[in-house]
Homo-oligomer: A and B are copies of this chain.
């Protein structure tokens, strides 16, 4: 990142910060393991044709945003009140201007992430009203919890992105939360982050705060902030969402367009239909960015949940959404759009066996579907109602394992090791061989959460379960946490902006 406004002192601090960050973990993953394709060409075409038919015959509702309706009308949509219909292929044509890959810049350039293509970016979970830990159980999230999760994500070598609403700071007024949240992302981390999506003026505040950090010119030419925006499935785009999307796009900033689909509720209970509907909805949201500002970065998003047939409640980390995600991945690649899909989902109320069973199933579906941006990578419990400190540490560690998994397998003379096999010979072992010593340092991912000691050692060190170790770990990380440097002038300008905004309106709690 070239920023002409940067002071020498700030540049120096940045350089120091860059070294520290680079030492702690990679900025993002570039995968060497291929995605897994679940469907053949004919089946994919049938899903696409159904999405096209939904768009052309049923159409979507676009409510309370006349400008968005006008933009789509100019682009060729048939408009009947709030109902918009699109000729088959029309949205695909519009989407051609969207970048298939883009950089979201972090204030520490070594932390900028590349979204799209073969790249994978992990961000913390998003949007839980509750937080929980083993000591204090479940309670409403506060801004201090929010800051803690930003700190933990910053400290993790395996999370590339600071996320957005890492938990709801329920102790702050609804109309001012975004100011403190973005302030926390900037002060307590140097990784890239998401801005507010609850109202267009709040999205604008977040962009303005990013301008203070990155400089206005830089922001106009580069993506430094994104909004994660939900469809109101089935087939409704609310004006509050579309205005937010247009706010980010207008500023050349990113949007992640996400239908939250619980099969049987917001979409058909059969996966193929749910995916076709989601494809239709997502294409509309993505296309909106391009009719607002061609070339604006946009991410094709999806969030699939299944349903408990006993209670009707949404379920997570289950097999059907995992397969569905594989299909979503194929569809996104055919659109040549970056993909957000799945995460470390779970319905468990505790960081227990169910939690990691569902979470790993769900995260691996993201990995195998070829996702580029994984929101909800760490902390997700209780069907997204709770952000768990312990699960955050478990999930972040699993994200570390995914770095090794996505590196695939290297086949060359060194790794084939014929000479070592020949030298060691039948019946001997490789523990002390020169080949082992030379290759062992980076041979295996080293978990900081899992216990790999012999049983007796495990007993002697307290017979701790994984949740207890994770509890110790997040406390240790927070105790060791040091905030990344922030230029004093930027810090002051941010504080001033936040104070002025807060003073300009009364607190609102809804």
Give chain B nearest CB distance to A28 CB in angstroms.
17
**Is A426's beta carbon under 8 Å from chain B?**
yes
Say whether B426 contacts A310, CB under 8 Å: no
Determine, out of A162-170, A184-192, A217-225, A316-324, the stretch whose residues face the partner at the interface. A316-324
Let me know if A415 and B270 touch, CB within 8 A: yes
From the candidates B50, B391, B454, name the one contacting A313 in the complex (CB within 8 A).
Answer: B454
Closest chain-B Cβ to A135's Cβ sits at a distance in Å of: 15
Stretch at the interface among A12-20, A51-59, A196-204, A289-297: A51-59
Is B267 a contact of A235 with CB atoms below 8 Å?
A: no
Partner of A425 from the list B37, B58, B425 (CB cut-off 8 Å) is B58
Q: Is A506 an interface residue (CB 8 A)?
A: no
Least CB distance from A156 to B in Å reads 16
Give A30-70 interface residues, CB cut-off 8 Å to B.
33-34, 36-39, 43, 46-47, 50, 53-54, 57-61
Contacts of A273 in B (CB 8 A): 415-418, 420-421, 435
Interface residues of A in 439-477 (CB under 8 A from B): 439-441, 443-447, 449-455, 458, 463, 465-467, 470
Bound-state Cα–Cα, A360 to B405, Å: 14
A358-B450, A430-B234 as given contacts; A264 in contact with B411, CB under 8 Å: no
The yes or no answer to A271 lying at the interface (CB within 8 A) is: yes
Those of A220-246 within 8 Å (CB) of chain B = 232, 234-236
The reply to whether A401 and B443 form a contact with Cβ atoms under 8 Å apart is no
Interface stretch of the complex, out of A92-100, A116-124, A249-257, A345-353: A345-353
How far is it, in angstroms, between the C-alpha of A54 and the C-alpha of B420 when the chains are bound? Answer: 11
Q: Does A211 contact B (CB under 8 A)?
A: no
A369 to chain B, nearest CB (A): 11
CB-based nearest B residue for A316: B452
Specify which of A58, A83, A359 lies most central, judged by the most chain B CB atoms within 10 Å of its CB: A58
**Pairwise interchain contact A426-B61, C-beta atoms closer than 8 A:** yes
Asked whether B34 lies within 8 Å of A34 as measured between CB atoms, the reply is no
A415 and B353 contacting across the interface, CB-CB below 8 Å: no
A472 to chain B, nearest CB (A): 14
With an 8 A cutoff between CB atoms, is A27 at the interface?
no
Most buried by B among A60, A357, A420: A357
Known: A353-B352, A356-B356. A38 touches B34 (CB 8 A): yes
A480 at the interface (CB under 8 A from B): no
Complex alpha-carbon distance, A106 and B240, angstroms: 62
Known pairs A315-B444, A416-B272; A430 contacts B58 (CB<8 A): no
Are A409 and B323 in contact (CB-based, < 8 A)?
Answer: yes
Which one of A47, A323, A354, A446 has the highest number of Cβ atoms from chain B below 10 Å of its Cβ? A354
Tell me if A39 and B409 are in contact (CB < 8 A): yes
CB-contact partner of A355 in B38, B353, B415, under 8 A: B353
CB distance from A155 to the nearest CB of B (A): 20
Contacts of A306 in B (CB 8 A): 443-444
Expressed in whole angstroms, the minimum distance between the Cβ of A327 and any Cβ of chain B is: 6
Residue of B nearest to A400 (CB): B319
B-side contacts of A364, CB under 8 Å: 360-361, 364
A227 to chain B, nearest CB (A): 23
- Whether the Cβ atoms of A446 and B310 lie closer than 8 Å is yes
Contact indicator per residue, chain A 283-320, by CB within 8 Å of chain B (1) or not (0): 00000000000000000000000111111110100111
- Which residue of B360, B424, B454 contacts A360 across the interface (Cβ within 8 Å)? B360
Chain B proximity mask over A268-286: 1 for CB below 8 Å, otherwise 0? 1111110011000000000
Contact A309 B446 (CB under 8 A): yes
Residues A422 and B308 in contact, CB atoms below 8 Å apart: no
What residues on B are CB-neighbors of A107 within 8 Å? none
Q: In the complex, what residues of B have CB within 8 A of residue A416's CB?
A: 46-47, 50, 270, 272-273, 276
Whether, in the assembled complex, A398 has its beta carbon less than 8 Å from a beta carbon of chain B, the answer is yes
Complex: how many Å from CA A311 to CA B453?
A: 7
Across the interface, name the chain B residue whose C-beta is closest to A467. Answer: B353
Complex interface residues of chain A between 368 and 425 (CB less than 8 A to chain B):
368, 382, 385-386, 391, 394, 398, 401-402, 404-405, 407-412, 414-418, 420-422, 424-425
Tell me if A485 is interfacial: C-beta within 8 Å of chain B. no
Q: Contact check: which of B270, B360, B391, B430 meets A439 at CB < 8 Å?
A: B270
Q: Are A435 and B269 in contact (CB under 8 A)?
A: yes
20 further A-B contacts with Cβ under 8 Å, apart from A270-B435, A309-B440, are A33-B36, A36-B368, A39-B409, A54-B421, A268-B420, A270-B414, A276-B418, A313-B454, A315-B452, A318-B445, A318-B447, A319-B401, A320-B404, A324-B409, A327-B409, A349-B463, A353-B394, A353-B466, A354-B466, A382-B455
Q: Which 9 A-B pairs have the closest CB atoms?
A: A273-B417, A235-B426, A268-B417, A319-B405, A270-B415, A356-B357, A272-B415, A354-B466, A319-B404
